[in-house]
């Protein structure tokens, strides 16, 4: 059976729906609040599992009231938590999120226990990780751990996807070159290549800078503009967005990656996986929250039947 391993973060999302951000020194009322399980790694794992792929999670929680809830949430989605461990004396990861009336989000992260996911944790999980068909990584855990995971994937001939989120200027591009898929959003791409990315032509040029450095497949997620895939073999596809009325864009990039991972391991077809991922991310922005807005298989199949063309 195909398996995806997510080595990454979990957070508790504290989402405030705002009319505007307060000024310094100002107290301002916001219309509503929602709390839920989040974190880029956890979101990607949950999206992938909701679609039916077997998922193994390697992650760390703290010793607070959020920890058991996070583990239970993984289990309720059928995710293997044998290597989700608790660390004492540290808080779990927490993410205050602000969503404005235009559905756009701003996120603060307090990494907490995520900072303690170490290379050694990958070695401990190696028995299970060796069976994975794809390892999925983000940057809410220490870079050394990410690099070790890439080395592990290469050593065991496992495909690896790196989502360089949030952008870390010190990311060693040599490691990105050792990944099969590199999936930034426009903001992350801009920080990585230090070039403007306002138009699709500019995004293409910036992605080509990465390909010239030796990356294999660069997939840029562009929100309401869809996604752009460029490969070192010269293949290029612009995946059109699925038009929806967005109310909360939080976690849409993670929905995209979780769904992409599911279809990639199930079909081996990158373009097909991208089309489905685009549709899955589109549905996610029509609901509030991160994981709470991800559709299950039945909901997604109905939507995809209308909006995804092969």
Catalytic residues: 254
Q: Is 107 in the site for ligand RIB (CB under 6 A)?
A: yes
Q: Which is nearer to ligand RIB, 47 or 192 (CB)?
A: 47
List all residues 6 or more positions away from 159 whose beta carbon is below 8 Å from its beta carbon. 133, 134, 135, 153, 180, 181, 264
Closest distance of CB 107 from ligand RIB, Å: 5
Q: Is 251 in the site for ligand RIB (CB under 6 A)?
A: yes
User: Of the candidates 120, 125, 130, 119, which has an alpha carbon nearest to the alpha carbon of residue 57?
Assistant: 125
Q: Which is nearer to ligand RIB, 40 or 275 (CB)?
A: 40
Closest distance of CB 126 from ligand RIB, Å: 26
Rule CB under 6 A: which of 111-140 touch ligand RIB? 140
Q: How many C-beta atoms lie closer than 10 Å to residue 306's C-beta?
A: 9
For the beta sheet containing 11-17, the strands, ordered from the edge strand earlier in sequence to the opposite edge, are 32-38, 11-17, 94-99, 105-107
**Degrees to nearest 5, angle at CA 297 with 293 and 300:** 60
Which residue's Cβ has the minimum distance to ligand RIB? 38
Q: Is 13 in the site for ligand RIB (CB under 6 A)?
A: yes
Rule CB under 6 A: which of 41-60 touch ligand RIB? 43
User: Residue from 81, 250, 270, 278 that binds ligand RIB (CB under 6 A)?
Assistant: 250
Residue 51 falls in which region: left (phi positive, over 0), alpha (psi -120 to 50) or beta: alpha
User: Residue from 109, 171, 183, 192 that binds ligand RIB (CB under 6 A)?
Assistant: 109
Q: Is 254 in the site for ligand RIB (CB under 6 A)?
A: yes
> Is there a contact between 242 and 279 (Cβ–Cβ < 8 Å)?
yes
Q: Is 290 in the site for ligand RIB (CB under 6 A)?
A: yes
On the CB side of 251, CA atoms within 13 Å amount to 40
Q: How far apart are CA 302 and CA 122, in angstroms?
A: 38
Q: Which is nearer to ligand RIB, 110 or 308 (CB)?
A: 110
The binding site for ligand RIB (CB under 6 A) comprises 11, 13, 38-40, 43, 95, 107, 109, 140, 250-251, 253-254, 290
């Amino acid at each position: 059976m195909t398996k995806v391993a997510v080595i990454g973060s979990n957070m508790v999302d504290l989402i405030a729906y705002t009319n505007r951000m307060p000024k310094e020194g100002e107290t301002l009322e916001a219309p509503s609040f929602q709390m839920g399980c989040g974190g880029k790694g956890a979101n990607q794992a949950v999206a992938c599992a909701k679609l039916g792929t077997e998922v193994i999670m390697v992650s760390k929680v703290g010793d607070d009231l959020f920890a058991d809830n996070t583990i239970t949430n993984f289990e309720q989605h059928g995710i293997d938590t044998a290597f989700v461990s608790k660390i004492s004396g540290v808080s779990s990861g927490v993410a205050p999120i602000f969503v404005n009336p235009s559905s756009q989000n701003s996120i603060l992260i307090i990494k907490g226990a995520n900072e303690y996911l170490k290379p050694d944790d990958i070695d401990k999980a190696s028995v299970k990780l060796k069976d994975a068909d794809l390892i999925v990584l983000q940057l809410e855990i220490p870079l050394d751990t990410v690099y070790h995971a890439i080395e592990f994937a290469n050593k065991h001939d496992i495909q690896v996807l790196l989502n360089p989120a949030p952008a870390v200027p010190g990311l060693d591009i040599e490691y990105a070159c050792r990944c099969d898929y590199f999936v930034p959003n426009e903001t992350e791409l801009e920080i990585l290549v230090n070039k403007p990315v306002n138009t699709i032509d500019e995004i293409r040029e910036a992605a080509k800078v990465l390909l010239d450095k030796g990356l294999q497949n660069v997939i840029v997620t562009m929100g309401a503009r869809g996604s752009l895939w460029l490969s070192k073999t010269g293949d290029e596809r612009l995946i059109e967005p699925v038009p929806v009325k967005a109310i909360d864009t939080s976690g849409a990039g993670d929905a995209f990656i979780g769904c992409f991972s599911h279809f990639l391991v199930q079909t081996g077809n990158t373009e097909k996986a991208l089309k489905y991922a685009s549709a899955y991310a589109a549905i996610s922005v029509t609901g509030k929250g991160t994981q709470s807005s991800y559709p299950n298989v039945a909901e997604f199949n109905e939507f995809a039947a209308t909006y995804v063309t092969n």
